[in-house]
Structure 1
Amino acid sequence: MTETRSPPEAGTVVDRLRERLASISPLSLGMLGFLGIPGEVVPGLEVLKLFSVFWLFWLWPFVAMLIGAVRQSLGDDESAAGPRDWLEMDSGWRGLFAMLYGLSLSVLNPLMGRQDVMQLLGSAVAVVRHRGSLPAPESFTQSGQYRLPVEGAWTVVNGSPIKEHSHSWYPATQRYAYDLVITDDDGRTRPAEADTSVENYYCYDKPVLAPADGVVVDVRDGDPELGRAGGFSHPGKRSITGNAVTIRHAEGEYSSLVHLVPGSIVVEPGERVDRGQEIGRCGHSGNSSEPHLHVQLQDHPTFEFAAGLPIRFENVAVETPGVDVTEATGWDAPEGTGQYIHVGQRVTHVADGQTDRADDGSRDPEPATAPALGGVRRVAGLANGIAVGGFVTVLAGVVGASLTTAALLVGGLAGLGLASLGARLVVGNGSVHSASVGTVGGVGLAALAVGAFAGLSALPTVAPVALGAGLFLTGAVLYGGSWEYGRWRGFQHAVRSTVATE
């Protein structure tokens, strides 16, 4: 029988072009904004300023979240049933208003703005570090065995290794992150008759545990926490993560445990921790709509420059009250030990007869690690301050302010930071973190730099936006470089085979 070949479909080329365009990340387009910087600095290249419009693509994650929140608040029921439908969480117009409020704070609060932008920039760095292909379940094999960082039954309200149900596919650091809460049988995170006081949420102040043996490489504590939830977080928050602990478990494997209660963290940088050891309490600090635990495995000690890693958990019992996303998407998990968890599931750590080693109360920081970490954290704090100063300078330029005005704004911010440190010394416990001191110092250095360009005729004339972008990038490079040094030189030898096996 002779085979008759049918002519190629007319729409093949168009379909391929459509697929290519759909595969382009808006954040990748945002990188073209860097081409606009020479147009601000070099005479004769002003035409390059047109590329500055590409910076707007970096707002895509926020726009996508806003669109989703609007559709939810309008009761858009056109989409198919989802894995979270059985949950009863704060939503509607109240949640939408809280989200818009949070976005405005991210722009107006330079500490938050610095971290938001650096997180997006870090995604590009992570792509380069992995030669264009970020870790995925099919390509990444974790070195250690990890348990859930909580006890009892918790519900996954965000997160899955499946792209369509990921916590946040961009930025790259949160690609495989999870948000965990405790729910009752009705899918509520607090009793139906209770108000939004944080203590009414079932998960609030519950212990958070180390998912595996390791060495603490970074601790952030002292971020404020709002006493109410319902979509709102503290207006004076200083970090996306709020109070957080980062633990190095193996080469290229770090866990980040986020949104902890202020003052609840019981470990220090350089300290060895055991699998199942309490490191803090679940809270509502940072970018948090209500008390929950954000947990992720990442390839780098910094939250901003890390690439998220898909994580399998050992000894976990799974209940799926609603839609099973693996069945709905036809997703098959690659072969390997442990188990992936997905949004909409209720998960519980199951004891396997082995007792997690408990803290004996006599731990000291790892002697070879603590000094190196101290230096890295101080330099990183200084770099953050420089980046914050650059961010404020860019904002000043956007609204048309002069370099002199920008210098006064950055200098005033440094003064506020210095006053805050002084207040903490007087009314606090008499000590401040060296990283905080470094951050204030970095803002002061940025103020001096902007003031020099504004007042010294010997220096070239530079637009505030260009100078601010230069300062921000300088801070970002110094920040990433300091942690990169620590990753490869400062404490690489501290952990050889600390991940517990079951």
Structure 2
Amino acid sequence: MSETREPIIVEFHLRGEWLSPNTPGAKIPSHGTNRFGTRYAYDFIQVDWERRGWPAYGVSFLQYLLLGVPLKEYYCWGQEVYAPCDGIVVQAEDGYKERERTNLLSDLYKAYKNAGLFNPKKDNIQSVAGNYIILECGHRVYAALVHLQTGSIQVTAGQSVRKGEVIGRVGHSGNSFAPHLHFQLMDSSDIATANGLPCAFEQYEVFREGKWQKVVDGIPTNKDRIRFDSQSI
């Protein structure tokens, strides 16, 4: 796919402060692969900007390594997810159980097994995506919001949604190392076979030189402290 294609602009789909550790603003493919439509995909987490290493959880790093972390200790788990565009819900798959706590070794194994060995002819895409929503945002433009919290999806297939409408919550389902929101645009509603489409956000703020600065039609990097509040921008 040509990198010269102009990004498709959508509204930022979260509220508050966020970090994107995997973003096309840092590298393409952002996730190291073109599979599952992830070429231009984003991951979003919330972190403690005052603690060394910007941890995404409220316990020590040693506990994370040795014991894992309960989902409730992750800052972003359960945060509301909003529709990035006006559109139609094409798929809304819930009911995939989340693991109750993270574990580095077992999560690495699951990632290899679920994504590396995935066979689209026989395997359920929820083993990779977990609970997810796919919105049709335009002609051959589909937004996927992935790894949602079990039981949080508030829309159904065929439903019309408006930009900014709450549709689910951030979770840890499927092929997930830790609670986060995976977001991507695709040219098909089939995650298993889709190609990724470049995407930028119509507006958000980034913290630079001690103050918040507005960004228009931007692609955050993996170092940017970003925030969005639809009421204040």
Whether these two folds match at TM > 0.5 is yes
Q: Which runs of 5+ in 1 are unaligned?
A: 1-133, 322-336, 355-502
- Structure 1 pair 221/135, CA: closer, same or farther in 2 (3 Å)? farther
User: How far off its partner does 1:319 sit?
Assistant: 3.2
Deviations 1:392-443 (A, max 9, x none): xxxxxxxxxxxxxxxxxxxxxxxxxxxxxxxxxxxxxxxxxxxxxxxxxxxx
Deviations 1:20-52 (A, max 9, x none): xxxxxxxxxxxxxxxxxxxxxxxxxxxxxxxxx
User: How far off its partner does 1:305 sit?
Assistant: 1.4
Question: Which residue of 2 is the match for residue 306 of structure 1?
Answer: 194
Provide the C-alpha distance between the structure 2 equivalents of 1:141 and 1:257, rounded to a whole number of angstroms.
Answer: 18
Instruction: Provide the TM-score with structure 2 as the length reference.
Output: 0.79
Verify: 1:151 aligned to 2:39, yes or no: no
Question: Which residue of 2 is the match for residue 13 of structure 1?
Answer: none
Instruction: Give the helix-richer structure, 1 or 2.
Output: 1
- Asked whether the equivalents of residues 135 and 308 of structure 1 are also in contact (C-alpha less than 8 Å), the reply is no
Question: Which residue of 1 is the match for residue 88 of structure 2?
Answer: 215
Question: Which residue of 2 is the match for residue 166 of structure 1?
Answer: 30
- Write the mapping of 1:317-396 to structure 2, written as runs, cut at 5 A: 317-319=205-207, 338-351=217-230
Q: Which runs of 5+ in 2 are unaligned?
A: 115-123, 210-215
Provide the C-alpha distance between the structure 1 equivalents of 2:6 and 2:28, rounded to a whole number of angstroms.
Answer: 19
User: How far off its partner does 1:244 sit?
Assistant: 0.1
> Residue 314 of structure 1 aligns to a residue in which SS?
strand
Give the AA of the match of 1:312.
Answer: A
Provide the C-alpha distance between the structure 2 equivalents of 1:171 and 1:230, rounded to a whole number of angstroms.
Answer: 25
Provide the C-alpha distance between the structure 2 equivalents of 1:320 and 1:266, rounded to a whole number of angstroms.
Answer: 35
Superposed structure 1 runs of 4+ greater than 6 Å apart: 234-237
> Residue 199 of structure 1 aligns to a residue in which SS?
helix
Verify: 1:289 aligned to 2:177, yes or no: yes
Which residue of 172, 175, 189 maps to 2:56? Answer: 189
Deviations 1:345-388 (A, max 9, x none): 2221243668xxxxxxxxxxxxxxxxxxxxxxxxxxxxxxxxxx
Provide the C-alpha distance between the structure 2 equivalents of 1:348 and 1:280, rounded to a whole number of angstroms.
Answer: 19
- Write the mapping of 1:28-43 to structure 2, written as runs, cut at 5 A: none
User: How far off its partner does 1:342 sit?
Assistant: 1.9
- Write the mapping of 1:53-202 to structure 2, written as runs, cut at 5 A: 134-136=1-3, 138-142=4-8, 145-161=9-25, 163=27, 166-171=30-35, 173-185=37-49, 186=51, 187-193=54-60, 196-202=69-75
- Structure 1 pair 184/340, CA: closer, same or farther in 2 (3 Å)? same
Instruction: Give the strand-richer structure, 1 or 2.
Output: 2
- Asked whether the equivalents of residues 173 and 305 of structure 1 are also in contact (C-alpha less than 8 Å), the reply is yes
Give the AA of the match of 1:199.
Answer: K
Give the AA of the match of 1:346.
Answer: R
> Residue 76 of structure 2 aligns to a residue in which SS?
coil
Give the AA of the match of 2:75.
Answer: Y
- Write the mapping of 1:387-406 to structure 2, written as runs, cut at 5 A: none
Give the AA of the match of 1:150.
Answer: L
Greater gyration radius = 1
Deviations 1:121-164 (A, max 9, x none): xxxxxxxxxxxxx152x22353xx41111100011111114545
Which residue of 223, 241, 253 maps to 2:141? Answer: 253
- Structure 1 pair 296/320, CA: closer, same or farther in 2 (3 Å)? farther
Question: Which residue of 1 is the match for residue 121 of structure 2?
Answer: none
- Structure 1 pair 270/151, CA: closer, same or farther in 2 (3 Å)? same
User: How far off its partner does 1:170 sit?
Assistant: 2.7
Question: Which residue of 2 is the match for residue 108 of structure 1?
Answer: none
Percent identity at matched positions?
Answer: 32
> Residue 239 of structure 1 aligns to a residue in which SS?
helix
Higher normalized contact order (CA 8 Å, seq sep 6+, divided by chain length): 2
Provide the C-alpha distance between the structure 2 equivalents of 1:282 and 1:320, rounded to a whole number of angstroms.
Answer: 26
- Structure 1 pair 176/188, CA: closer, same or farther in 2 (3 Å)? same
- Structure 1 pair 165/305, CA: closer, same or farther in 2 (3 Å)? closer
User: How far off its partner does 1:196 sit?
Assistant: 0.1
- Asked whether the equivalents of residues 88 and 135 of structure 2 are also in contact (C-alpha less than 8 Å), the reply is yes
Give the AA of the match of 1:347.
Answer: I
- Write the mapping of 1:447-486 to structure 2, written as runs, cut at 5 A: none
- Asked whether the equivalents of residues 248 and 254 of structure 1 are also in contact (C-alpha less than 8 Å), the reply is yes
Provide the C-alpha distance between the structure 2 equivalents of 1:208 and 1:219, rounded to a whole number of angstroms.
Answer: 13
- How many corresponding residue pairs? 203
